[in-house]
A and B are shown apart, each in its own frame.
Chain A
Amino acid sequence: MKNKTDKSFKLYLEELHQFQEQAKSLDVLEFEEWKKNLLKDLDKNYKSRFSNLEFYTITEEPQFEEGEVPF
Chain B
Amino acid sequence: MVEINIEDFKKAEAILKDLIFEAKFDKNKVSHIKTIKLLKARKENINFEIELAERICGDNTNYPYRSSFYLTKFFQDLGFQYVHSGETRRFWVQNVLKQLCIEEVAYVIEKGLFLKRNYKDLQSRAEDKKDYSVEQFLQCAIKDFRKFIDESIAANETVSLIDILDLNLNIELLFEHRANTKDEELNILIEDAKSRFLNPKDKHIAVEKLWDAFERIKTYFNSGKQKLKSTEDLVFLISKGFNNDFLDEEFRKLTYIGNNYRIRHHETNKKEIKDPKHLTYLFFRMLCLIDLCLVALENNSV
Per the CB 8 Å criterion, the residue count for chain A at the interface is 33
B173 at the interface (CB under 8 A from A): no
CB-CB contacts below 8 Å: A10-25 with B: 10, 12-13, 16-17, 19-20, 22-25
A20 to B44, CA, bound (A): 28
Per the CB 8 Å criterion, the residue count for chain B at the interface is 23
Q: Check A46–B15 contact: CB distance below 8 A.
A: yes
A53 to B20, CA, bound (A): 19
B8 at the interface (CB under 8 A from A): yes
Q: Check B13–A57 contact: CB distance below 8 A.
A: no
Known: A13-B17, A55-B9. A61 touches B4 (CB 8 A): no
Please report whether the interface of chain A is mostly helix, strand, loop or mixed according to DSSP.
helix
List of B residues within 8 angstroms of A1 by Cβ: 19, 22-23
Q: Check B2–A26 contact: CB distance below 8 A.
A: yes
A–B Cβ pairs within 8 angstroms, 23 of them: A1-B22, A6-B20, A9-B19, A9-B20, A13-B13, A16-B13, A16-B16, A19-B9, A22-B4, A24-B4, A26-B2, A45-B43, A46-B43, A48-B46, A49-B11, A50-B12, A53-B5, A54-B8, A55-B4, A55-B8, A56-B3, A56-B4, A57-B2
Residues of A within 8 A of B (CB): 1, 4-6, 9-10, 12-13, 16-17, 19-20, 22-26, 28, 42, 45-46, 48-50, 53-61
